[in-house]
Amino acid sequence: MSSGTVLLIFVFTYFAALLVISWFTSRNADNQSFFIGNKKSKWWLVAFGMIGTSLSGVTFISVPGTVGKIAAGEFPFGGFEYYMMVIGFFLGYFIVAGILLPLYYRLNLTSIYTYLGKRFNVEAHKIGSVFFIVSRAIGATARLYLVVNILQIFLLENLGIPFWATTAVLLLMILLYTFEGGVKTIVITDTLQTTFMVFSLIACIVYILSQLDFSFGEAVAVLQQKQYTHLINTDINSKTFFLKTLLGGMFITIAMTGLDQEMMQKNISVDNVKNSQKNMKTFAFSLLFVNLAFLFLGGLLYLFALQNGAEYGADGTFGFKNSAGEINNIVGDDLFPALSLQGYFPLAISVIFIIGLVSALFPSADGALTAITSSYCVDLLNLNDNKTKTEKQKKRTRMKVHLVFAVVFFILIMIFKQINDKSIVYLIMEVAGYTYGPLLGLFAFGILTKHQITKKYAILAVTLSAPVLTYFINFFITKFTNYKIGVELIILNGLLAFIGLWLVRETGKLNTTNFKILKIFLRLFKLLNQ
């Protein structure tokens, strides 16, 4: 039996386990089970499962691959520079726990965008939902594409299986185990998937340390010597300048977690706000350690490759020389899978890698598919408030929407295949800056002020204009100055949306308590661009 066949057997065995869990958790499930798990989820289960959702294949593959880019002189990250963004994430989770979660529980929301309807009008409610659907669909399929593409290149292509077939089968798997139970199922499956991902991470670190014959301390010393642990970028013009990355990470978390139906859907499935806040804070501390472990693994992967004949080329490439003396570039996203699936690691470690990779794949797609379905049904179809339809009819509508978005995911993945951008970790952050920015501005305006906006299409005009203005500002700054806008793009976009909403506001009073928070953020943004 070939190694490829063995790996495929493990993939399908893993999927079978997910189906069994789905069968048990979806019994007697209704629409509320699908949307918010009947608010019976255990906070510690949600916290642990969210690690897998937050990390996904991007962290599993891309983050370790960025470490060696400091030596290769490549963008977007290098060394441990990514960890400054992780610290920003950490700060952002506490803002979400302290400000947004109490708001959502106080209003007893099924969809967090219902808040915009209550605070402003129906237009704001639906615009918020549409921005989420677009943002999450692009982000989730970009993550999913990364993992599917790796499985295709390193495992399935040699078996003659086309990329579209791989994508279709994996989406069908996800569809099958989320079709009935929704959030109720995902809370359990995400826990299983996070367990396997963390196990894979630890097992690979232990194996490589043993092969390098390093203790933990010795490995850290060698990584420092090779500058792989470089943390703080002090070049203010760089996209990865540490303050940009820190603040950008914080606002990305506020937007991509606190204003994201997928992430909040799991949090508000917990029985009360205090337990939900425990979940968020536990999750925040966990990510500090897990992301650091992935960066450490990245450094070990480069050391392992160098010990086994890899080298850096004059043009910044990194990899093994072929028979023609050319370097087969495996820097970045290709490093971990290349070492795991091309004979450099034993079969047992390859199996562990595949299990970890698949465990990273499913949480990035199952929750997104469920959340997008929920948002479309609750926010755009008003399915929860529809008194003319029976529960059975509502369920049938929900299932149709779920199926349609699975097809949309398939189309988007095929588009990413055509784009074929290997810097997927930064691409996702940049896209998020454009699509989540209007949500950030809209929620900030609602929370920080008491102004109303009643003019028809005013909110639509502002939220569409802000990303366009952001794009042109980014374009001209990049073209005519040495300054490079990085992940702080989302701050600029959100600020433009906030200013636009301020300009079209009706007369009202400013919430002076929260305005102090706004002034702090504005000062930080000013400091960032000095």
CB 143 within 8 A of CB 436: no
Q: Which has the minimum average pLDDT: 351-365, 398-412, 432-446?
A: 351-365
- Give the structural domain span for 143: 3-528
191/450: higher pLDDT: 450
The secondary element (H helix, E strand) that includes residue 476 is helix 458-480
The Cα–Cα gap between 10 and 250 comes to 37
Q: Which residues of 154-168 are buried (b: 16+ CB within 10 A; e: fewer)?
A: bbbeeeeeebeebbb
CB 417 within 8 A of CB 153: no
Q: Dump pLDDT digits (tens) for 112-124.
A: 899 999 999 899 9
Dihedral sign for Cα atoms in the order 262, 266, 271, 273: negative
Q: Which of 78-92, 137-151, 383-397 has the lowest mean pLDDT?
A: 383-397
Average pLDDT over every residue of 437-452: 92
Which residue do the tokens 């699908």 mark? 34
**What residues pair up with 321 in beta bridges, in sequence order?**
327
Domain total for the chain? 1
Confidence of residue 215 (pLDDT cuts 50, 70, 90): very high
Rounded CA-CA distance 528/530 in Å is 6
3-state secondary structure of 510: strand
**pLDDT value at residue 510:** 46
pLDDT in tens, 205-214: 999 999 999 9
| H, E, C per residue of 307-366 | HCCCEECCCCCEEEECCCCCEEECCHHHHHHHHHHCCCCCHHHHHHHHHHHHHHHHHHHH
* Cβ atoms of residues 327 and 318 within 8 Å: yes
Please give the model's pTM, rounded to 2 decimal places: 0.80
pLDDT band at 217, cuts 50/70/90? very high
Q: What CATH number has the domain bearing residue 339?
A: 1.20.1730.10
Does the pLDDT of residue 418 top 60, yes or no? yes
Distance, CA of 356 to CA of 367 (rounded, Å) = 18
The mean pLDDT value for 256-280 works out to 83
Mean pLDDT of 11-26: 70
Q: Which residue has the tokens 């295709």?
A: 152
**Integer Cα distance of 24 and 187 in angstroms:** 13
Cβ-contact 454, 121 below 8 angstroms: yes
Query: pLDDT, tens digit, for every residue of 484-529?
Result: 887 788 899 999 999 999 999 876 444 444 455 555 555 655 555 5
The pLDDT > 90 percentage for the chain reads 25
* 377 secondary structure, DSSP code: I
- Kindly state the tokens that stand for 81: 């520079």
Q: 31-51, pLDDT tens digit by residue?
A: 444 444 445 566 656 666 666
Report which of 437, 477, 497, 527 is spatially closest to residue 246, judged by C-alpha positions.
527
- Condensed to tens digits (0 to 9), the pLDDT of residues 125-147 reads 999 999 999 888 888 888 788 77
Cis peptide preceding 76, ω within 30 of 0: yes
Closest CA to 53 of 248, 191, 200, 204: 191
pLDDT, averaged across the chain: 80
Angle at which helices 273-307 and 82-95 cross, to 10°: 170
Encoded amino acid at 507, one letter: T
pLDDT over 70, % of the chain: 79
Q: Is residue 183 over pLDDT 60?
A: no
Q: Any idea which of 222-226, 319-323, 359-363 has the lowest mean pLDDT? A: 359-363
Q: Calculate the dihedral angle through the C-alpha atoms of 216, 217, 222, 223, rounding to the nearest 10 degrees.
A: 70
> Sign of dihedral through CA atoms 103, 104, 109, 114?
positive
> Given this model, what pLDDT does residue 367 score?
73
Q: State both tokens at 52.
A: 């897998």
**Length in residues, the chain:** 530
Residue bearing tokens 């959502």: 104
Question: Does residue 4 contact residue 155 with C-beta atoms inside 8 Å?
Answer: yes
